Chains A and B, each alone.
Chain A
């Protein structure tokens, strides 16, 4: 089955810093989503981005489907950005989302 790898596994930054999180996948996908799981365990939809580029405030994401990777950019980090960021992909007509192991982000004040 498809493999989803996220990097880095852990990231510690000072407030105000920028960061780039990466998601590599081993096969073609027709669905790719980025999620933020906050310290209370809630899953928040960030982007639905099987291809192309999207921006939402301080966050943006780019998926290059032909090269099988997606990037999540966080600018001017705030302490509320702390948590785990997950990439999840769907393949062909398979509706299941296959999840990466996540990037644990800690923003220090």
Chain B
């Protein structure tokens, strides 16, 4: 039973480019969450999605960031016109229900140069 799969593991983008981060949840999980981790800190919630629906995006910056979880395929976190401050580790988690145990992927480490 494969765990949560994220790709790429590492992503380097120049300022102004777009970053696309992908997440495939565990089999049987329909709830997906994205978190961001800055160095030396705990994770911070960004967005919660179910298939084809954004349930809560209160932790996501209003501009440049968007997320989707289409009917088919992985969840995508998109960051447009990246800036240096977007450099961080982005983790995806999935669970079978909103308040049940969440399992995390290995993260995507985004570096903006």
Contact = CB atoms under 8 A, between A and B. Distances in A.
Interface string A87-108: 0101001011111111000000
B104 A41 contact: no
Contacts of B91: 43
Contacts of B48: 95-96
Interface of B: 31, 33, 35, 41-45, 48, 55-56, 59, 89, 91, 93, 95, 98-104, 106-107, 109
A56 interface: no
Lowest 8 A-B CB distances belong to which pairs?
A99-B42, A95-B98, A48-B101, A43-B104, A96-B45, A99-B43, A31-B99, A42-B106
Interface on chain B toward A: helix, strand, loop, or mixed SS? Answer: strand
Contacts, number: 57
Interface on chain A toward B: helix, strand, loop, or mixed SS? Answer: strand
B98 A93 contact: yes
A97 B98 contact: no
Contact of B107 (A43, A93, A98, A102): A43
Contact of B42 (A31, A86, A95): A86
Given A41-B107, A96-B56, A96-B59, A90 B99 contact: yes
Interface residues of A, number: 22
Contacts of A95: 31, 33, 48, 55-56, 95, 98-99
Contacts of A30: 99
Nearest to B109: A41
A45 B103 contact: yes
Contacts of B33: 95-97
Contacts of A101: 41-42
Contacts of A75: none
Q: Which of A30, A90, A93, A97 has the most CB of B within 10 A?
A: A97
Q: Which of A45, A96, A102 has the most CB of B within 10 A?
A: A96
A33 interface: yes
